[in-house]
Structure 1
Amino acid sequence: MLRGYGKRCAGKASNFFLFSLIGLLVALSLGVYMWTNFNAIGSVSHQKQKVVIATNNEYAGSCAVMVAQEKGFFVNEGLVVSIKPVTSGKAAMAAILEKKADIGTVADIPVMFAGLSNAPISVIATIFAGERDHGIVGRRDKGIDTAASLKGKSIGVPLGTSAHFTLDAFLNRQKLLPDEVTKRTYKPEELANALAAGSVDAVAIWEPFLSAAMSKLGDNGVLFYGQDVYESIYNMVGMQNYISEHPETIKKIIRGLISGAKVCVENPAIAQEVVSKITKIEKETLKASWSSYRFDIVLDQGLILALEDEARWAIKNKLTDKVKVPNYLGYVYIDGLESISSSAVTIIH
């Protein structure tokens, strides 16, 4: 009896060992599988989101973008940002609409025209405002020494841009009708040379092309700023479907911009060094005009009012076939900035 019992115990022990070995192998295999897949999932979740931003990297108004890129604020938010250089907000808007950029820096005038053409874009934030970055440079040897003497002169301007609006508003302030001057359209980067060559009597443009045009003429130039008639409102804009499909990416972009803008405001010397390196504008030139710039990341009711006023101008001057001012609230994405800084949103909605 004891000998049989011993055999049965030995058989049970052998089976127990076999089952334990199988269980151990299964557990190890499952562990390896879970570890491999956890790391794969983790690596995907930690991949940085790629974003293409079209911006005028020759314009100080892009300070928040430049600093966020140079100082790693976008990277800190988990973004890999590629900058697509453009020379105007109009060109940035074109890049967005053609899906060559995800987001772009765009002044208010291209946003206004986008609304009139029902383009599916939205402003996610205003990143800059300035009153002395637009103006008109005239040639003294063409008889231009006062604003009123622009009457009858040829003026180079990129049509359909903020410079065009500034010119018309400036002429209106001087009691001059738009057709009392001859407008000739040029690309922004062509204006300084056109003026220096005498192809036009004056040019209307923004910085840094404004200073470049004045520099070309030297003592033969006269400069009229447009601060009394126009304030530049520089915005971050994207396609509405991109924004709705990437709400968290939009928040990351906004947070990066807020960090960049903080440097532009609180550490101007550092910001000016970054902007000067990228734009090639002399630091002393930037320093002289910096106090007139506002680098707040906001959505202000003033944007809506400006867009409506500009739309009336475009309709009146038959720059569009539309006859009704759009509801520009439909072209602003509020949720992103409001979720980060509700006090930065003053648009009535």
Structure 2
Amino acid sequence: MSGLAPGRWMARLAVIALLLALVAVAIWQLNARPAAPPGPVEVLRLAVNADYVGSCPVLAAHGQGHFAREGIDARLQPYSSGKASMEAVLQGKADLGTVSDIPVVLASLRNQSVVIIASIFEAERDHGIVGRLDRGVSTPASLKGKRIGVTLGTSGQFTLDAFLNRQKLLPAEVTLRNYAPEQLAGALARGEIDAAAGWEPFLTGMTHAIAGKAAIFYGEDVYAGLFNVAGTGDYVRSHPATVRKVLRALIAGARFCQDEPDAARALFAKASASETARLQAAWHGYRFGVVLDQGLLLALEDEARWAIRNRLAERGTMPNFLDAVYLDGLEAVAPSAVTVIH
């Protein structure tokens, strides 16, 4: 190389430098690509109440790509209640579903094997009763003798019964009418019922359906809403690796809902302007997190006593609700999130 002219020598150095730079860029691009999910991609059918704020960890895990990063192709199926989601799971239409605690209790009392893999949300002020002022519903006590719409077999019914009990009213002192959650606002507006019990966002829809005539009573003193992810015992226990992947994705999703409230609220793009405003005001009271807490078992037992007392299931004995909670998955992924005594 000593025989090369200085100009040609510099040109060769420039070419070499360019080649090295291109190699460096290629290596950087290769490393910057998201890692391929471990193993084959697995399809998961997930029944979810996509309009309910408690589903935020699921929607975030899906929208932010956390399921995909775990090798899960999550197929979200929309339902208007946890009861409907649970029925889809029990009928084999979905693998897992989002559900409050009441449908799990009723399934257990019917000797159906349903297990909760985690609670993902808790709130105190998302259940309540909306009454028509022009039908004489102005105070909780004035519900006596009224026709009340409710979705039977849900947390809405449990909240209503507990609320009536607090007013020293017997179930026989009101007339219950069964509606799907999305039908309650219309029934209230048409005057088919005098009041309706349910949860958000349906409560907001009901108050707007009878604008100027609505009285609303929240049930935070009688029911703290828990929202869970559950499946059949057969599915959950035969898919331990899948459950761990789902839980890791849900943990990331719950963190997003807790730490990025503005972006998380955008997941509920179909919400009305009034519902969006309500979400913004109420968000600070929501607790997103993936846990299995001893309080869950206590709630399940309390609700089972209510169901047995009201003859909502054939079984008249208390189940062992440790059988309705799958601990192995979360203990493997986030052991500190499990406080169930076992």
Q: TM-score range by the shorter chain?
A: 0.7 to 0.9
CA-CA distance at 1:332 after TM superposition: 0.7
Q: State the partner residue of 1:247.
A: 240
Q: State the partner residue of 1:206.
A: 199
Look up the SS of the partner of 1:347 in the other structure.
coil
1:54-133 maps to which residues of 2 (within 5 A)? 54-133=47-126
Q: State the partner residue of 1:328.
A: 321
CA-CA distance at 1:279 after TM superposition: 4.8
Look up the SS of the partner of 1:219 in the other structure.
coil
Say whether 1:338 aligns with 2:328.
no
1:243-282 maps to which residues of 2 (within 5 A)? 243-274=236-267, 276-277=268-269, 279=271, 282=275
Shift of the 297–150 alpha-carbon distance from structure 1 to 2, 3 Å rule, reads same
Look up the SS of the partner of 2:248 in the other structure.
helix
Letter in 2 for 1:163: G
CA-CA distance at 1:144 after TM superposition: 0.9
Gaps of 5+ in 1: 1-42
Look up the SS of the partner of 1:135 in the other structure.
strand
- Once the two structures are superposed, residues 287-322 of structure 1 have per-residue CA deviations (whole angstroms, 9 ceiling, x without a partner) of 111112111100001111011111111111111222
- Inter-partner Cα distance in structure 1 for 2:332 and 2:212: 51
Percent identity between the two aligned chains: 52
- Once the two structures are superposed, residues 204-249 of structure 1 have per-residue CA deviations (whole angstroms, 9 ceiling, x without a partner) of 0111111100111111000000000001111100111111221111
Look up the SS of the partner of 1:104 in the other structure.
strand
Q: State the partner residue of 2:16.
A: none
CA-CA distance at 1:283 after TM superposition: 2.9
- Inter-partner Cα distance in structure 2 for 1:302 and 1:44: 35
Say whether 1:136 aligns with 2:129.
yes
Q: State the partner residue of 2:6.
A: none
Shift of the 75–279 alpha-carbon distance from structure 1 to 2, 3 Å rule, reads farther
CA-CA distance at 1:272 after TM superposition: 0.9
Matching residue within 276, 292, 300 for 2:293: 300
Gaps of 5+ in 2: 1-35
Look up the SS of the partner of 2:227 in the other structure.
strand
Shift of the 143–45 alpha-carbon distance from structure 1 to 2, 3 Å rule, reads closer
- Inter-partner Cα distance in structure 1 for 2:154 and 2:121: 17
Shift of the 156–44 alpha-carbon distance from structure 1 to 2, 3 Å rule, reads closer
- Inter-partner Cα distance in structure 2 for 1:76 and 1:60: 24
Q: CA RMSD in A?
A: 1.4
- Once the two structures are superposed, residues 246-276 of structure 1 have per-residue CA deviations (whole angstroms, 9 ceiling, x without a partner) of 11110010000000000111111111112x2
The structure that is helix-richer by fraction is 1
CA-CA distance at 1:46 after TM superposition: 3.2
CA contact (8 A) 2:106 2:312 kept: no
- Inter-partner Cα distance in structure 2 for 1:165 and 1:258: 29
Q: State the partner residue of 1:36.
A: none
CA contact (8 A) 1:135 1:166 kept: yes
Say whether 1:309 aligns with 2:302.
yes
TM-score by length of 1: 0.86
CA-CA distance at 1:44 after TM superposition: 11
1:104-253 maps to which residues of 2 (within 5 A)? 104-253=97-246
Q: State the partner residue of 1:18.
A: none
CA contact (8 A) 1:58 1:280 kept: no
- Inter-partner Cα distance in structure 2 for 1:289 and 1:150: 26
- Inter-partner Cα distance in structure 2 for 1:302 and 1:190: 32
- Inter-partner Cα distance in structure 2 for 1:238 and 1:266: 28
Letter in 2 for 1:122: V
